[in-house]
Amino acid sequence: MTLLSPGFLAAAALALPLVAIFLLKVRPRRRPVTAYFLWDRVFVEKKSSALFNKLRDALSLVLLLAALSAAVLAAARPRPDNADTRDLLVVLDDSASMDALSGSGFGSGYDRAIDRAKREAHTLLASVSGQRRGAVATLSDGLRMRQFLTDDRRALRRAIDAVQPSSLPSREAAAAPLTGLAELGEQLRVVVITDAEPGSLGIPDGIDVIPIADHRDGVTKPASNAGITAAEIVRYPNTDEIGIFVRITATDDLAGTAAEIVVERGDSPIKLVPVTLGTPSDRPRGSGDEATITIVTTARGPAGPYRIRLHLTERGPDAMPADDTAAVVAHAPEPVLVGVSDSARYFFENAVLAFQQSEGILRLAADGETPDLRLDRGIENGPSRLGSIVFAPNEGSRWVLSQGDMIPTPIPRLVAANHPAFRFVPVESLPFDGATDVTLPEGAAVLVEDQSGVPLVWQIRSPAGTGEAQGLVFNADPARNDFVLSPYFPLIVRGAAAYLSGRGERPRSAYPTGNHAEIPGLSPQATATLTGPTTADVIAAADQDAIAGEPDDPQAARMRTVAFGERPRLEEPGFYRAETPNGETLLAASLLHPGETRVEAPDELPPVDGLQRGSPWWARLALLALGLLVLEEILYHRRKVG
């Protein structure tokens, strides 16, 4: 034992006057009285209780000496010789699986993993004192500080009590910031409290891990749980049918359990599929998918939001309800209306029809319809709402200022890396036959150029207030060397049309929480708002100037800006509404993570040495001294009743 303030031991000398007070006898004064017989009863009672009073005085002295000793030791601040005096950071796992109940039953006596973790954190941080500070953080798909280093135990308790399971899964990369903290091992000790296998979190060496698991009779009992770990719903083009894909993962103890998959639109079920959960795994834990089953089915229904629910029909609820429901959206194809010029009409129409008949992302404009985009050769051949895709531009059009000689053998070089218009096309391998030396108008953005610097693909944005549509221009003649017959030509048309219209790839029907989603319909120089289940709007903008006036909005403080090309993060399960100038789209997010549904807890609980749990010794001694004083007060100063 080590004393932090040994000078306070001198206060033990107070025991001498305390003992002297008890040993000192006070001689009573003699007083004359009028009648002696009135005092006979008093003297008799006093004589009969003299022995008890002596014993009571001795016991009172012992209690006071014990209280004084405890108070002196508390003031000297004792601690164990092996006590850890470093500051302590307690990191609580707040991933979705921490909401799971433990054990094999779900009645009284079973609590959530997060509740057990919080109790452990309270015990660890109760040792914080003036010589040692504590801090609280949470870890799921990122590390978040909840309370910075402080010796205020009430602030630490409030921070721990405020922790609740999130809707996010654990990510191995989330523990990366702990590497820097591990290097502060001489000043800071970091303890992670989690329900998962420590190795699965990527926690670096030097960080202590306390697994929170139901460990009874030498066996780890994982939470009995089944959940939806993958879901997809697809609306088939030109039909009223939807395709449904569901994957269910369960713990081994639920093998053979009867369950139901219910697909709902609104409050009405449209499909019910009875299933039997998978068989137990015979392989080492984490090595196989024997506890996973996959369901593929169809139903009739329109485009829009759906919910897929899992019900266990042979028993009550499982350990974690968060993964029993998946929000999904069946997206209706919203084709881009494309008009083609008379020049090379046959080949241009075939490029559009290739995706009209398969994905439904493009549709050929009928006579009299104003197209969203035009597919032109040479010059602009008519109006469009969103822009034009132009091949082999002619001098005199608004796409080029001047035109020179033809380039013999163009060698393309991509200037705008990862441009969405070329997502499915190896641009640097394409022949740009018929390319000419051109001078571009002011403001043109070159996307692909020849090695000599001649522009091969460029974008013309519409000047503000002119009413002119933008264009994506290809300095090549697709009719030369039969490039219109190449399989790459329809892909070029599709990519350019998707980019200019902002209707690119159809969003996924369900995103796992924590993932980033593309905002559909966000074309260049446009803005979009994304409204989540409970969160504030997220504004995405191609041009930051486009939202320069938003700070005056009373809700601007609740909004954040995402640069064009970045994707907002979906952190809550449920439906999101994305609104752009080109329309409105629903997005959906659900947990959908096998590692949260089937948590691989460790088979053995590794010991963590040197951790001080509970209140420090001085606090316990101070409490003991107070208790002894209260006991002495009750014993010595009790009153007679009756």
Q: Decide which of 455 and 153 is more confident.
A: 455
Contacts of 103 (CB under 8 A, 6+ apart): 109, 110, 214, 221, 223, 224
Q: How much is the pLDDT for 531? A: 84
Q: Find the largest Cα–Cα distance for the chain.
A: 145
Q: Decide which of 221 and 21 is more confident.
A: 21
* pLDDT mean over 249-276: 90
Q: How much is the pLDDT for 292? A: 80
* pLDDT mean over 416-424: 83
Q: To the nearest whole percent, how much of the chain has pLDDT over 90?
A: 22
Reported as a pLDDT band with limits 50, 70 and 90, residue 552 is very low
Q: How much is the pLDDT for 176? A: 82
Q: Decide which of 7 and 272 is more confident.
A: 272
Q: How much is the pLDDT for 314? A: 73
Q: How much is the pLDDT for 348? A: 87
pTM: 0.67
- If you classify domain 87-212 with CATH, what class do you get? alpha beta
Rounded Cα–Cα distance for residues 589 and 511 (Å): 5
Count of residues in the chain: 642
Would strands 2-3 and 78-79 be described as parallel, antiparallel, or unpaired?
A: antiparallel
Per the listing, tokens 């036959």 go with 433
Q: Which helix (H) or strand (E) holds 553?
A: none
Which one of 45-49, 282-286, 570-574 scores highest in mean pLDDT?
570-574
- Cα–chain center distance at 260: 28
Q: How much is the pLDDT for 129? A: 73
Give tens-digit pLDDT for 512-533.
999 888 776 665 556 777 888 8
- If you classify domain 238-330+593-597 with CATH, what class do you get? mainly beta
- SS3 of 416-476: the string is CCCCHHHCCCCHHHCCCCCCEEEECCCCCEEEEEECCCCEEEEEECCCCCCCCCEEEEECC
Q: Is 141 exposed, middle or buried, given 0-12, 13-18 or 19+ CB atoms closer than 10 A? A: buried
- If you classify domain 336-501 with CATH, what class do you get? alpha beta
- Domains 87-212 and 238-330+593-597 agree in fold: no
- A 10 A CB-CB count for 93 gives 25
Q: How much is the pLDDT for 641? A: 38
Rounded Cα–Cα distance for residues 206 and 183 (Å): 8
> Cα-flanking dihedrals φ and ψ of residue 70, to 5°?
-65, -40
Q: To the nearest whole percent, how much of the chain has pLDDT over 70?
A: 73
Q: How much is the pLDDT for 244? A: 93
Give tens-digit pLDDT for 281-337.
443 444 344 468 888 888 998 889 999 999 998 766 688 889 999 999 998 777 888
Rounded Cα–Cα distance for residues 291 and 314 (Å): 17
Contact 296, 245 (CB under 8 A): yes
Domain boundaries, given as residue ranges, for the chain: 2-80, 87-212, 238-330+593-597, 336-501, 511-590
